[in-house]
Structure 1
Amino acid sequence: MKEDFLHYLWKFRKFDTLYLKTTAGQEISIITVGQYLQQAGPDFFNAQISIGNQKWAGNVEIHLKSSDWYVHHHENDMAYENVILHVVWEHDVEVFRKNNSEIPVLELKNYVSKEVLANYQRLVAPKSWIFCEKQLKYFDDFVLKNWQERLFFERLERKSKAIYDLLEQTNRDWEAVLFCMLAKNFGLNTNGEVFLKIAQSIPFSVIRKESFEVENLEALLFGQAALLQAEKEDTYFKDLKFRYFYLLHKYQLESKNEGQVQFFKHRPDNFPTIRLSQLAHLYHIHQNLFSKINSVSSIATIYQLFQLGTSVYWETHYQFDKVSPKKSKKLSRSFVDLVLINTIIPIQFAYAKSLGKEVTEDLMAMLVEVAPEKNAIIDKFESFGVKASNSFETQSLLQLKNEYCVSGKCLDCAIGMELLKSG
C-alpha cells in the first residue's frame, strides 16, 4: 500500500464517516477535508474537524504508520506544528507536538470497506507493462477521451518549458527559438541534442543575413558540426570549407565541435549530412519562417511550407567524396508530421500563451488530422485494446505512459480513479 491511496481515501471520504473515533476514543466529525497541497509541508491544508466537543481548523498529515512522523523528521519541522489530525493506516506510536500535547490519530483501516480495498489491490496488482493493462479494454471510452484532452495539454505545457528556456537565451527572439527547435527536430533522437547545440552556436542574425546563399548556410552548419575538418579532394567540400572559415572571420564566430554527429544505424535519408542540408534549404527558401508558421491554421499549408529537399550536391551524395545515384531527397510527410508534433504545435501554443490567447482547441483540431505516430508505446497500448487513430491521441497516450504509468501515479490518473471506484 502507498500513501497516495490514503490521500485518495481522505480527499474523497472513501471510508465510513458516520462513527469515526480517534485511537483515544474521541468522536470525529469531518467538516472539510482541506486542500490537497502535493508540496512540502502537511498533506491537507486548512481542514475543519470536530474532535470530541471541540472544533478545530488546521492541517492534516497522512502516513501509512504513525511512526513515519519520526521517520520523516516532522518533529523538527515547524510546518507541522499546526497539524490537528494524524490520519494513518496503522497506529503504532503516539506523536507529540513541541508543547508535549498529543496529536489525535485516526486509524483508517478500521473504516475502509473490503470492496474499496479490493478495488485498490486489483489496480496495483503486479504488472507486465502498466498496472491497469488488463482492465483497459473495458474502460469507459467517454472518460478516456476527456482524460486524453487533459493529457495532451499537459504534454504541451511540458514541451513549452524548453521553448521558454530558449527564449531567455535568445533575448526573446521567436525566430531564433524556432530555428533551434527545428534543428533539434531535424536531428531526430540520435543527433537531436548535437543539432540543437550547433544551432545555438550560430547567432540567428547570421542565419538571417546569409540565408540568401544556401551554400553559406550549409557551410556554417556543416562546419559547426565538425564535418569540414578533414582534407578531401571533393570540390564542393573545399568550397564549403573555404566559405566556413571566411564566415567565421567575418562574424567573429568561434569554431565549435558540438559533439560527434552519428551516421551509424541511420537510413541514408536520415544521415546528418542530408538533414543539415534540408535545414539549410528550409531557411534559404523561407525568410521570417516563424511569422509564416504562426499564421498557419491548416495542416495542408504546413505541408506546403515543408515541401523541400536538399541543395543540388546532396541529390547525388550522402557523404562527401562518395557519389550515389541521383535522388531528390525531399522531406517525407511522416517527417513533417514529426516536425508538426514536436516543434510547430508546441511553439504555436507557447507563443499564444505568451500573448494571453487561447488556441488549444485549434491545435487539438490540427493534430486530429495528423496520422498516428508509430512506436513501441503506441503499439503496446493497442495490444491492450486502446487504439489511437490520430496524433492527438498518440501524444496523449505518450504523456499517460511516461508521466503517470511509469511513476505508478494511478491515483492521479482519471483511469486509475475510475477503476478504483468501479472495481
Structure 2
Amino acid sequence: MLFTEDFLHYVWKFRLFDRIGLQTVDGQDVEIFSAGMHNKDSGPDFHNARIRIGDTMWAGNVEVHLSSSDWKRHGHTHDSAYDNVVLHVVFRDDAPVVLPNGRRLPTLEMQNRIAPELHNRYHNLIFGNRQFIPCENSIARVDGLTMGNWLSRILVERLEKRSVAVTTALAKNRGDWEETFYQFLAANFGFKTNALPFELLARSLPQITLAKYKNNPLQIEALVFGQAGFLNDEPVDDYPRKLKTEYEFLRKKHNLQPVDKHLWKFMRMRPQNFPTIRLAQFAALIVRSNHLLSRILEIKEISGLRALFTSIEINPYWENHYRFDTESKSSVKHLGQSSVDILLLNTLALFLFSYGKQHQLQYYISRSLKLLESLPGEQNAIMADFSNLGVKIKTAFESQALLELKNSYCNHKKCLDCGVGNKILKLA
C-alpha cells in the first residue's frame, strides 16, 4: 500500500478509519473525543487532543508516523517538544517507543483499519496519470455547495497573497495610498506585455509632479510620452513636435530621466493595444481624474466604476494614428469593455480588498468580492480546461478562485488540503 504520511494525517484528522474496538498495540481500549488541532509547523502533528486510553482521560498531543520506528529516526527521542505526546498513531508498528521516563508510548496501529476504497481513491488522486489536475476524472461529481464554499475560501487566499505586494509598495510610498494605486494602475495599463515599462514610467513620474499640470492636458501628455522615451527623436507632425518642446522644458525643470524606449513592445499586438495608444489613454485618465482611489472608494456600482475608464477621450491626433508621424485609417480608440474589466479585476478589486484589510473595514472587502462577482469570468487556457471538465465559470470570482486552485493546490497535488479533494475522497 503506497501513500504518504500526509494521508495518515488526513485519515486521523477526519477519523476516516474503523473505530470499532479501538485498542493500542498493547491491548488498552482507546476512545477519541477530539483528534486535536492539526499542526503544520514544527512539533507534534496534532495539538490538544482529548483521548481516553484504558481508564485514563488524556489531554495532550498526537504524533503520526508511517512506522513507529520513525519516532527515533526523526529525532523525537530526546526532543522535549514531544514530551506531551499522549498517543502515537502509526500505519505499521515495527518498534516500541519508550519515553525517557521509561513509560512505553501508547501506540495505535492503523494498518487494518483503513478501507481499501479510501486508499484507492487517494492513490488515484495523488499517483494517477493526469493531464491537467489530479481530480479531473472526479471533479464533475462534486456538488455545487462544496465547490462554491471552497472557491470562496481560496479566492480570499488569493487576494490575501496579492495584497502583500500592495502592502510592500505602500510602505515604500510612506503610506500614500493614492500614489501606490497610481503605480499599480499604470502597470496594469500595460496588460502584461508592457506592464514593466508602464510601472517604471509611473515610478519615474510621481503624481506630485503631474498634479502641477492638471489643467494643461498638453503638458500631461508631454510628461507621459516624454518619460516613456517616445520624444527622443525629431518628430515631423505638429502634435509630437509640441509635445517634445514641452517635455524638454519640463524634463530640465524636474530633472527627469526617461524610460528606455526599447522596453516597449509592439510586435504581435493589435494596433488598438499599441503602447502609444495605451499611453494616450493613460494620460487622458490622469487629466480627468483627481484622487482616483478616493473616488473609487466612494463609487458603489460597477457601472460607475466602468464609466471612469470607458469615458476617456484621448487627444484627437490618435484618431488616425497608432504611432507618431505614421498616419492610419481613422478609428475610435476608447478602452474596450474587456480591457476595462481587466483593469477592474487586477487593480480595483485588489485595492478595495487591500484597503479593507489594512483598515479592518469589512465593507471594502465585501465590495471587492461583489465586484468580482459582477465581472465576467476570464477566458484563457486554464479556464477552458476546467470548462471541459464540467466546471461552470460565469464570473471573475470563479475564474480567479480556479486559478488559485490550479496554481496553489492542483499543481502541487495538495488534494488533502483541498476542499474539493476532501470531498472526492469521501465520495462513495
TM-score by length of 2: 0.88
| SS of residue paired to 1:85 | strand
1:401 aligns with 2:406: yes
| 8 Å Cα contact 1:225/1:259 also seen in 2 | no
Deviations 1:123-181 (A, max 9, x none): 33321111111122222122222222223322222222222222111122221121111
Q: Gaps (5+ residues) in structure 1? A: none
Q: Partner residue of 1:149?
A: 152
AA at the equivalent of 2:178: E
* Shift in CA distance, 74/311, structure 1 to aligned 2, threshold 3 Å: farther
| 8 Å Cα contact 1:15/1:112 also seen in 2 | yes
Deviations 1:70-121 (A, max 9, x none): 6655557553443333323334455565667654433322221223223323
Superposition map of 1:10-409 within 5 A? 10-69=12-71, 72-74=74-76, 78-93=80-95, 103-124=105-126, 125-257=128-260, 260-306=263-309, 307-359=311-363, 360-409=365-414
| 8 Å Cα contact 2:152/2:401 also seen in 1 | yes
Deviations 1:189-209 (A, max 9, x none): 222233223212332211222
Rounded Cα–Cα distance in structure 2 between residues aligned with 1:157 and 1:205: 29
Rounded Cα–Cα distance in structure 2 between residues aligned with 1:404 and 1:169: 32
| 8 Å Cα contact 1:197/1:258 also seen in 2 | no
* Shift in CA distance, 205/27, structure 1 to aligned 2, threshold 3 Å: same
Q: CA deviation at 1:303?
A: 1.9
Rounded Cα–Cα distance in structure 1 between residues aligned with 2:372 and 2:59: 48
| 8 Å Cα contact 2:227/2:256 also seen in 1 | no
| 8 Å Cα contact 2:197/2:259 also seen in 1 | no
Q: CA deviation at 1:248?
A: 3.4
AA at the equivalent of 2:307: Q
- Mean CA deviation greater in 277-286 or 122-131: 122-131
Rounded Cα–Cα distance in structure 1 between residues aligned with 2:230 and 2:138: 52
| 8 Å Cα contact 2:229/2:260 also seen in 1 | yes
Rounded Cα–Cα distance in structure 2 between residues aligned with 1:223 and 1:3: 59
- Mean CA deviation greater in 215-224 or 339-348: 215-224
AA at the equivalent of 2:119: L
The total of aligned residue pairs comes to 423
* Shift in CA distance, 144/262, structure 1 to aligned 2, threshold 3 Å: same
| 8 Å Cα contact 1:198/1:258 also seen in 2 | no
Deviations 1:375-414 (A, max 9, x none): 1111111101112122222222222222221121212222
Q: Gaps (5+ residues) in structure 2? A: none
* Shift in CA distance, 40/230, structure 1 to aligned 2, threshold 3 Å: farther
Rounded Cα–Cα distance in structure 1 between residues aligned with 2:373 and 2:319: 34
Identify which of 417, 422, 425 aligns with 1:417.
Answer: 422
- Mean CA deviation greater in 229-238 or 132-141: 229-238
AA at the equivalent of 2:143: D
- Computed over aligned residues only, the root mean square deviation of the Cα atoms, in angstroms, reads 2.7
* Shift in CA distance, 54/353, structure 1 to aligned 2, threshold 3 Å: same
| 8 Å Cα contact 2:352/2:367 also seen in 1 | no
TM-score by length of 1: 0.89
